[in-house]
A = this chain, B = another copy of it.
Amino acid sequence: MSDLASSGAGFIAIVTLGTEGPEVQRELVELLVKDVEEWVRHCPGFIAANYHASVDGRHVVNYAQWRDEAAYRDSFRDNPRAGELRATITAMPGVTAPSMVGYTLVRTVPAA
């Protein structure tokens, strides 16, 4: 089951970061997971964060599912460590600063 359409996510934040290789990808994912486990997963409207490492070692993507955009915005605004986390990421050698685009899931086509 793929099940994206039944996740209840009315807003998906796709966060993309550039990385210089597999080792940096692993370090970065560990750092991001730590923040999500300590803070974000407890926020109202959070559904799941899904960390992806590109096969070529050059990207990390978080496909983050939220009930709606307001819940996402509120959690970000309220996170006491948001500024610190961003500073840590920006200072990591071999990592480029995150970019975020907000989406809604409009169509899903499963296997025949």
Contacts and interface: CB of A to CB of B under 8 A. Distances in A.
Interface residues of A, number: 48
Interface of A: 1-9, 11-12, 14, 29, 33, 36-37, 40-42, 46-56, 58-59, 61, 63, 65, 69, 101-112
A108 to B, nearest CB: 5
A112 B2 CA distance: 21
A47 B4 CA distance: 11
Contacts of A109: 33, 36-37, 40-41, 48-49, 51
A47 B108 contact: no
B2 A46 contact: no
A52 B104 contact: yes
